[in-house]
Amino acid sequence: MEPNSLTIVQTIQICAAIISPFLVLIGWRVVYVNAKRIATRNESYALITRLIDKLLDLDRKCTEYWLERTNDGSSESWITKIGMEIKSIRTLLELLEAHHSFPEKSEIILKIRQSATLDAERVNSLSASERKTRRSKQAANISGAIQTIYGHYRTSNK
C-alpha cells in the first residue's frame, strides 16, 4: 500500500465533509419555503375569517332593517352605517387582493352594496312580499360572496 493513496474510509470522510454543508443548506431551504407557505396560509385564513364574520354581520343587519322593523325615517343613517360596513369589507378584500391575488373584489362589493342599499329609502312603501324578495336577493348575494371567498381560500391552499 502506497503512502499517498487514500483508503476508502478517508475518501468517504472527504465526500461527507464536502456534501454535508450542501445538505444542511438544502434542508434549511425546505424549512424556509414550508414556513413561508404556512404563514401565507394563516394570513389568508385570518383575512377570510374576518371577511366572513363581517358578511354574516351585514346579513343579520339587513334582515333587521328589511324585515323585522319599519323604517322610522332613518334610511340615511342606514345607508351611512351600511356604507361603513361595506368600506371595512372592501378594505379586507383589498388586502386579500394585494397579497393573495383575489380578483373578484369589485364584483362582490358591487353586488353587496346594491342589494343592501337599493331602495332603502322606500322600505316602508314596499309591500311585505317585495321586502321579502329584496331580502332573498340580499341573502343570495351575501351567500355567493362567502362561497366565492371561501372557494378562493380552498383553491389557493391546496
Domain boundaries, the chain: 44-156
How far, in Å, CA of 6 to CA of 9, rounded? 8
How far, in Å, CA of 55 to CA of 17, rounded? 58
The model's confidence at residue 127, banded by pLDDT at 50, 70 and 90, is: confident
Regarding pTM above 0.85, the answer is no
The model's confidence at residue 78, banded by pLDDT at 50, 70 and 90, is: confident
pLDDT score for 31: 95
- For residue 62, which of 108, 112, 110, 109 has the smallest C-alpha distance? 112
pLDDT score for 69: 61
Contact (CB, 8 A) for 111 and 117: no
pLDDT score for 5: 62
